[in-house]
Amino acid sequence: MTSSISIDSSVFLSGLTTTDPSFAVSKAFLKKIVTGNILIIVPVLVLFEVLHAYFRNTKDLKKTDEVFQNFIDLNIEKKIRFINIEADFLSYFVARHYEIDLKTLDSVIALVAQKNHCPLVTWDKKLLKNCKGKIQTMTPAEFLRKRTIPVYK
């Protein structure tokens, strides 16, 4: 059985940024995930954010497009699944967003993980704090320390 995990934009961006304090850990985490039998489930919003932030920091459209193409390749390799934000998810969002008290985009990230019954891995302290007790969240470092795929409760 394939395990699944949701990964926040901060982790993908960190793994592409050598000057980020968590670059090495993010890289090790991404390596463990993509080489293991683990499916990454993310809202398509993650793709928007990573590519937008990547472009803002490189000012290079060609490179940004290449990163985008590699996300698509990752999807073709069945390592990542993008969740579209559609009416079905909207109903779920409306029914639960108040429970986690986050801004809209943060709520989308958190609730996609919850709806798909997978833990959320992020470097964002705000997400980690507000999801505590409601959605299983952890940092890439915590994930690597545990060495096992957490089971969603």
Partner 1 sequence: MYIVENTVSVSDLRKHTIDVMKGVARSSKPVVVFSRSKPKIVLISYQNYAANEESERPIHSGRGADFFINTPEKFLIHKKGCDAVKEIRKLRD
Which CA distances in Å does 9 have to 1, 87, 91, 94, 123? 26, 23, 23, 23, 9
Query: Tokens for 53?
Result: 């932030």
Continuous segment of H or E residues that includes residue 95: helix 87-100
Q: Contact with partner 1 (CB under 8 A): which of 39, 79, 93, 141?
A: 79
Interface pick for partner 1 out of 1, 2, 61, 77 (rule CB under 8 A): 77
**CA-to-CA separations, 56 to 24, 59, 75, in angstroms, rounded:** 22, 6, 24
Question: Does 5 participate in binding partner 1 (rule CB under 8 A)?
Answer: no
Closer Cβ to partner 1, 62 or 147, answer by number: 62
The Cα-based distances of 115 to 22, 59, 96, 111 in angstroms read 28, 35, 10, 6
Of residues 38-67, those binding partner 1 (CB under 8 A): 49, 52-54, 56-58, 63, 66-67
103 binds partner 1 (CB under 8 A): yes
Q: Which of 1, 2, 18, 84 binds partner 1 (CB under 8 A)?
A: 18
- At its nearest, how many Å lie between partner 1 and the CB of residue 153? 26
Q: Which is nearer to partner 1, 54 or 143 (CB)?
A: 54
Cβ 33 vs Cβ 42: under 8 Å: no
- Options 5, 6, 13, 130; binder of partner 1; rule CB under 8 A: 13
